[in-house]
Amino acid sequence: MNDPHTQPTPRSLIVTFYGAYGRGEPGAPGGPAAPVPVAALIRLLGALGVDPPSVRSAVSRLKRRELLTPARTATGAAAYGLSDAARQLLDDGDRRIFGRPAARLSDGWVLAVFSVPEEERHKRHLLRSRLARLGFGTAAPGVWIAPAQLYEETRHTLERLQLDPYVDLFTGTHAGFAPTADAVARWWDLDAIAAQHRAFLDAQEPVLQRWSRRRSVPPEAAYRDYLLALDAWRRLPYADPGLPSPLLPEDWPGGRAADVFGRLHAKLRDAGAPYAHEAMAGA
């Protein structure tokens, strides 16, 4: 699992930037249409301490992964837009990152059961890693489980990676024999997930407190702190599948972490947009 204390990578920050400001989605304040000029990416990542060679290298890797597609601006400058697969990835991520509703016990579960031929065992590893990134727990070898609200995103992800021929998906309820809360504690490492929430709080609560004391919200500072907070936060709704609260320990820190991010998002996202959009327009 990813640790929110881990230094953010240039590749991760670029994906975070496109998700926050680089899509030109309807309703974004002043949001420009993609593609984003390379010069703008260098400036915008430079504000976060990333040097130009690291930006170019990260863009190349994202291009090889078919998440970014090369293009030209109206003036002929080199630029990159999002592929259709990347847009689907970000759209799925929005539902998790920005206010995913809490799962209810009555919603049930989605099961992913897979079987991969030995000659394609590399796909077995890919399947396991992707299901883990989606927030699935392990119920048994080859049997993975998650709250039912992750069903549609799981379908999208497996189809995008062409892993769907190896997987059967089922939905249903847990019918015994152990209490569901005890079973959940076996299926997920709740201590590790809680530690990630606390690490996020350790890093971002002081940022929120600092902004709460400020009267003005300078766009560049808002952009910088928002991108770093979003980059740290967006991993957590994947590590944490959003289990129903009756199945979680009483001192579960996930709600507090979500509140801190929500307040930073409300305070900084739109305030940082002018800096991001001016950089893209200027490039």
- pLDDT tens, position by position, 16-72: 999 999 886 543 444 445 689 999 999 999 999 999 999 999 999 999 999 999 998
Degrees to nearest 5, angle at CA 212 with 210 and 215 = 100
CA nearest 261: which of 97, 134, 149, 101? 97
Phi, psi (5° rounding) for residue 168?
A: -115, 135
Under the banding of pLDDT at 50, 70 and 90, the label for residue 221 is very high
Q: What is the pLDDT of residue 33?
A: 55
Identify the sign of the CA torsion 78, 81, 83, 86. positive
Domains and CATH numbers, the chain: 1-102+189-283 (no CATH), 109-172 (3.30.70)
Please report the DSSP string for 72-86 in residue order.
E-TT--EEEEE-HHH
Model pLDDT for residues 116-129, shown as the tens digit of each residue: 888 888 888 888 89
Structure tokens at 121: 């065992």
Please state, as a whole number, how many other Cβ atoms lie within 10 Å of the Cβ of residue 193.
Answer: 21
Q: What is the pLDDT of residue 34?
A: 63
Please state, as a whole number, how many other Cβ atoms lie within 10 Å of the Cβ of residue 282.
Answer: 10
